[in-house]
Amino acid sequence: MKINHKITSIVLTLGLISSSIYTINVNAETLNSKIQVSNLNLSNSYNIKNENLIKSSKEGWINTNGIWYFYKNGIMQTGWLNDNGIWYYLNENGSMATGWYKVDSNWYYSNSSGVMQTGWLNDNGNWYYLNDNGSMATGWYKVDSNWYYSNSNGVMQTGWLNDNGTWYYLNDNGSMATGWYKVYSKWYYSNSNGVMQTGWLNDNGTWYYLNSSGEMVTNTIIDGWKIDSNGIATPLKDENHSIVYVTPNGKSYHYSKDCTALKRSSSILSMSLNEAINKGKSDPCNLCVK
């Protein structure tokens, strides 16, 4: 905002001139403005504080040419403004921000009335989450009891997500899936941290097998276990115990996958007895190997 001021008289303490007419431009964003005075030998400029020059009678919200500004004590405001408990952002030129805008390293969104938004926001069909302070969420974040993930642009993700090599599934509403869930015609299982599981899974005492893609397998035989159409695995009789069960860090082998000693193991491997012995797992379990 520029204001033209006409000075009709300048009185110099040294009395070099008595009066002149000058026109100056005062920039409201600068702290001082200079009047260039010609034909002076002692000095060719004088500083005039602009505090008294740019103050006006404007107060509160003012609409100028369709753009809203806010004045306090006659001074146009910039930056964050809390007006009656509602947050607004005023750009460097004082105009009220609407839509998306960046402050420091964070993105914010204000509606058409300039009110800063929080919580869920649907913008052009994309969902975003704005934290309590209005900043746009990215990466993992928790809302109520559910976890969500937004990419670097703040767009909430759905479907399969590979985060640092770990697979997660995000439901249609964006919430992270845990337990059993169906994607198209296949069943999958993610633990309480949302991590998709593979291999043997014991769910409430029932065994299932999830292939390398996380899909629950059906109607097949794996490691001496018969898996039915519901994915439930039951052991086939193995009189010779051609298949034994071990843990990655254990030194014992087991005849039964349901052995009490394996209950606390999150990962159970199946292999031949010779292979187990060759891997250093040569101690027979004293509970199930008799």
Identify the weakest region by mean pLDDT among 6-10, 64-68, 176-180, 284-288: 6-10
Alpha helices in the chain (DSSP H): 51-54, 273-278
Mean pLDDT of 159-186: 98
* Contact yes or no for 40/27 (Cβ under 8 A): no
H or E element that contains 186? strand 186-190
Tens-place pLDDT, residues 270-280: 888 878 888 88
Distance CA 62, CA 40 (A): 43
Query: What are the structure tokens assigned to 173, written together?
Result: 């509403």
Range scoring the smallest mean pLDDT among 14-28, 211-225, 251-265, 267-281: 14-28
Q: Say whether pLDDT at 8 is over 80.
A: no
Under CATH, what is the fold of the domain 199-235?
left handed beta-beta-3-solenoid (2.10.270)
Average pLDDT on 189-197 reads 98
In the chain, domain spans: 2-54, 61-173, 199-235, 243-284
Above 90 in pLDDT, residue 4? no
The two beta strands, 32-36 and 22-27, are: unpaired
- pLDDT at 5 > cutoff 90: no
Predicted local confidence at residue 30, as pLDDT: 40
Q: Give yes or no on whether 61-173 and 199-235 have one common fold.
A: yes
Mean pLDDT of 179-198: 98
Give per-residue pLDDT as tens, 121-146. 999 999 999 999 999 999 999 999 99
Strands 283-284 and 252-253: what pairing? parallel
* Residue 244 pLDDT level (bands cut at 50, 70, 90): confident
Q: What is the chain's mean pLDDT, rounded? A: 84
pLDDT at 54: 53
Contacts of 108 (CB under 8 A, 6+ apart): 89, 97, 100, 101, 102, 116, 117, 130, 134, 135, 136
Domain covering 61-173 in this structure, CATH number: 2.10.270.10
